[in-house]
A and B are shown apart, each in its own frame.
Chain A
Amino acid sequence: MSEAKRNIPPRYRGPFSHIFSGRAHTVVLRSLYALKTSAWYIVLSGFFEPLFYLLAFGLGVGKLIDGVTGPAGQPIAYAAFIAPALLATSAMNGAFYDSTWNVYFKMRFARLYEGMLATSLGPMDVALGEIVYALLRGLVYSTGFLIVMYAMGLVLSPWGFLAVPAALVIAFGFSACGMAVTSYLKNFQEMDWLNFVMLPMFLFSATLYPITVYPPAIQLLVKALPLWHGVELIRHLTIGPPGMAVLGHLAYYAVMIAVGLTFTTRRLTKLFMS
């Protein structure tokens, strides 16, 4: 028996073993190798975008606005109001961009997944590996942003540190759904239509101004948007107080993650294994 065969470890045999080999971590490893070849300043630049928004809106627009309130109706500074929203938005954007444009490119142009799936990896290894890597990145960026929030005095609640795991939950939800959507897309034109969902999502999810601006009917519509749940989740944590509502928002994301993962693996199986 040759050396490699002695070395091939026994494969995972639990549920989903036809699409999952238990080696999602090797897909993460591949991304870390890819990260090694990118320039540090480009990686670092990802951290600044939400910060610029915080400075511009917090300092600039903040001076023009007063009368903003927190989750419990307490008056707060405008910057403290938008900072958690920007954290949620940046978690969403990072995860969604990674799982749509990047995944689409790797799938259709670089043919990267084709190569991975020719090995004993299954589609679920690939999907999970990509998502876990996106979350690792999100962890670094959101930790950085939260540190800035602390430094600027924008974290008003003792539970504020939980904003980082909350941002990861948001990123997980959008990654899972983003990948599912991407696997159905056939060309870049279709990709462009995603912007028609993402821009209004950012602008209307009570990110830059309170939801009370809208008439009640529109408020209901906004409350159906995933980003709104993410923004509110983090606001409860950094501004306070974190009530039962937090559980509701988390449940929303649990559903998003489950639905996204189901469709992603189902679709990847069909695309690459049929």
Chain B
Amino acid sequence: MNNNDEIMIRAEALTKKYGEFTAVDGINFSVKKGESFGLLGPNGAGKSTTMRMIAAVSKRSGGELTILGKDPDRDGPDIRAHLGVVPQTDNLDTEIKVKDNLYVYGRYFGLPGKFLREKSRDLLEFAQLTEKADAKVDTLSGGMKRRLTIARALINEPDILLLDEPTTGLDPQARHILWDRLFRLKEEGVTQVITTHYMDEAEQLCDRLIVIDQGKIMAEGSPAELIQRYSSREVAELRFGSDRNATAADKLADLGDRMEILPDRILIYADNGEAVLEAVASRGFKPLTSLVRRSSLEDVFLRLTGRSLVE
């Protein structure tokens, strides 16, 4: 199993500047073979910029970046030959058929036609699109387009699959189908790098992740480790109505380990959420709604940045 310690991507003090603006500010990370590695952060945190540098289509402004043992500045085309890229916005070719999207894309890698015809059939099967093989791309649903984009990214049997916001804009069912497909790829040992601003997605898909905000890494670890390190076991969520949240919060500040006051609700972090609710009731407060849930990466993010993830 020593094969699994092979480093696929290594970034050291990786920086990207657009004029005066620093999109990625000296980040360090490495991704091992077979790992699902997540980049988590709000819109504009620098996730997609990092992703474009890993995809060897955007030059870094500083630091070191090694992908598959090569420098993207020098060996861009060689590196890209072994990557599969799923961009944030689908860029499927709407002028050609579904199956031709796979075939033609494979030709860009110089793969032979016979191999591609077989491979496209397998990938359409994998993406559950066999019946749509001869359809026009425009007739596919959002989830189907996304699956086709992923199938297309797999045509060259890539060493690393890059997924930029893979499920943004999809309905819950489509998301779950997609997660299932990505999990299968993980089982087959495909290294994945995933950006997302969805906590549940990161928890589902990532072995390890970095939380990025304003171009910097805020934390690193597995989802469970991060929750343990930066949050309590449970959270009590209370709503008193927009006008009264702040006054209620003043009087409840001593409950739990920590409190966050959001515009629409109060979050109280504690090991035992039910006990917090009882304490609130015993002080004569009647929230409009209340619930107890387990801590999630959302809470980690809130703690680290003082901001909620989806703004």
> Using a CB–CB distance below 8 Å, which chain A residues touch chain B?
2-5, 7-9, 11, 17-18, 21, 23, 26-27, 29-30, 33-34, 36-38, 110-112, 114-122, 272-274
Query: Of B57, B82, B96, B107, which contacts A26 at CB under 8 A?
Result: B107
B104 touches A33 (CB 8 A): yes
Supply 16 further A-B pairs (C-beta < 8 A) apart from A11-B78, A23-B110, A29-B107.
A3-B115, A8-B81, A8-B109, A8-B110, A33-B103, A34-B95, A117-B57, A118-B83, A118-B85, A119-B81, A119-B108, A119-B109, A120-B81, A122-B77, A272-B57, A273-B59
| Nearest-Cβ distance from residue A265 to partner chain B, whole angstroms | 14
A30 touches B91 (CB 8 A): no
Contact A118 to B80, CB < 8 A, known contacts A4-B111, A272-B57: yes
Determine the chain B residues whose CB is within 8 A of the CB of A29 once the complex forms. 104, 107
Residue B11 is within 8 A (CB to CB) of chain A in the complex: no
Determine the chain B residues whose CB is within 8 A of the CB of A272 once the complex forms. 57
> Using a CB–CB distance below 8 Å, which chain B residues touch chain A?
55, 57-59, 74, 76-78, 80-83, 85, 87, 89, 91-97, 100, 103-105, 107-112, 115, 119, 136, 155-157
Determine the chain B residues whose CB is within 8 A of the CB of A273 once the complex forms. 57-59, 76
How far does the alpha carbon of A33 sit from the alpha carbon of B104 in the complex, in Å? Answer: 8
A7 touches B111 (CB 8 A): yes
A4 touches B119 (CB 8 A): yes
25 sample A-B contacts, Cβ–Cβ < 8 Å, listed by A number: A4-B115, A4-B157, A5-B82, A5-B157, A7-B112, A11-B110, A18-B77, A23-B108, A26-B107, A26-B110, A30-B107, A33-B95, A33-B96, A33-B100, A34-B93, A110-B94, A111-B91, A114-B87, A115-B93, A115-B105, A118-B87, A119-B81, A273-B58, A273-B59, A274-B59
B74, B78, B80, most chain A CB atoms within 10 A:
B80
| Nearest-Cβ distance from residue B19 to partner chain A, whole angstroms | 12
| Nearest-Cβ distance from residue B170 to partner chain A, whole angstroms | 19
Look across to chain A and name the residue whose beta carbon is closest to the beta carbon of B80. Answer: A120
Query: Of A4, A37, A115, which contacts B156 at CB under 8 A?
Result: A4
| Nearest-Cβ distance from residue A274 to partner chain B, whole angstroms | 5
Look across to chain A and name the residue whose beta carbon is closest to the beta carbon of B82. Answer: A5
Contact A2 to B157, CB < 8 A, known contacts A23-B108, A114-B87: yes
How far does the alpha carbon of A38 sit from the alpha carbon of B97 in the complex, in Å? Answer: 11
B77 touches A30 (CB 8 A): no
Determine the chain B residues whose CB is within 8 A of the CB of A111 once the complex forms. 87, 89, 91
B97 touches A37 (CB 8 A): yes
How far does the alpha carbon of A38 sit from the alpha carbon of B95 in the complex, in Å? Answer: 8
Look across to chain B and name the residue whose beta carbon is closest to the beta carbon of A115. Answer: B91
Determine the chain B residues whose CB is within 8 A of the CB of A3 once the complex forms. 115, 157
| Nearest-Cβ distance from residue B223 to partner chain A, whole angstroms | 28
A2, A30, A112, A121, most chain B CB atoms within 10 A:
A30
Query: Of B78, B85, B87, B91, which contacts A110 at CB under 8 A?
Result: B91
How far does the alpha carbon of A112 sit from the alpha carbon of B77 in the complex, in Å? Answer: 18
Determine the chain B residues whose CB is within 8 A of the CB of A36 once the complex forms. 96
| Nearest-Cβ distance from residue A87 to partner chain B, whole angstroms | 28
Determine the chain B residues whose CB is within 8 A of the CB of A122 once the complex forms. 77
Determine the chain B residues whose CB is within 8 A of the CB of A17 once the complex forms. 77
| Nearest-Cβ distance from residue A5 to partner chain B, whole angstroms | 7
Look across to chain A and name the residue whose beta carbon is closest to the beta carbon of B78. Answer: A11
How far does the alpha carbon of A4 sit from the alpha carbon of B107 in the complex, in Å? Answer: 12
| Nearest-Cβ distance from residue A114 to partner chain B, whole angstroms | 5
Contact A37 to B96, CB < 8 A, known contacts A11-B81, A120-B77: yes
A30 touches B110 (CB 8 A): no
Contact A115 to B92, CB < 8 A, known contacts A273-B57, A273-B59: yes
Determine the chain B residues whose CB is within 8 A of the CB of A38 once the complex forms. 95
A30 touches B57 (CB 8 A): no
How far does the alpha carbon of A139 sit from the alpha carbon of B181 in the complex, in Å? Answer: 46
Determine the chain A residues whose CB is within 8 A of the CB of B157 once the complex forms. 2-5
B80 touches A119 (CB 8 A): yes
Look across to chain A and name the residue whose beta carbon is closest to the beta carbon of B79. Answer: A120
Look across to chain A and name the residue whose beta carbon is closest to the beta carbon of B81. Answer: A120
A120 touches B57 (CB 8 A): no
B78 touches A120 (CB 8 A): yes
How far does the alpha carbon of A34 sit from the alpha carbon of B137 in the complex, in Å? Answer: 12
Determine the chain A residues whose CB is within 8 A of the CB of B59 once the complex forms. 273-274
Determine the chain B residues whose CB is within 8 A of the CB of A110 once the complex forms. 91, 93-95
Determine the chain A residues whose CB is within 8 A of the CB of B74 once the complex forms. 18
| Nearest-Cβ distance from residue A104 to partner chain B, whole angstroms | 15
Contact A21 to B136, CB < 8 A, known contacts A8-B109, A110-B91, A114-B91: no
B87 touches A21 (CB 8 A): no
Determine the chain B residues whose CB is within 8 A of the CB of A115 once the complex forms. 87, 91-93, 105
How far does the alpha carbon of A37 sit from the alpha carbon of B137 in the complex, in Å? Answer: 12
A9, A29, A119, A274, most chain B CB atoms within 10 A:
A119
Contact A7 to B115, CB < 8 A, known contacts A29-B104, A274-B58: yes
How far does the alpha carbon of A161 sit from the alpha carbon of B140 in the complex, in Å? Answer: 48
Query: Of A9, A34, A112, which contacts B91 at CB under 8 A?
Result: A112
| Nearest-Cβ distance from residue B67 to partner chain A, whole angstroms | 13
How far does the alpha carbon of A26 sit from the alpha carbon of B110 in the complex, in Å? Answer: 8
Determine the chain B residues whose CB is within 8 A of the CB of A37 once the complex forms. 95-97, 136
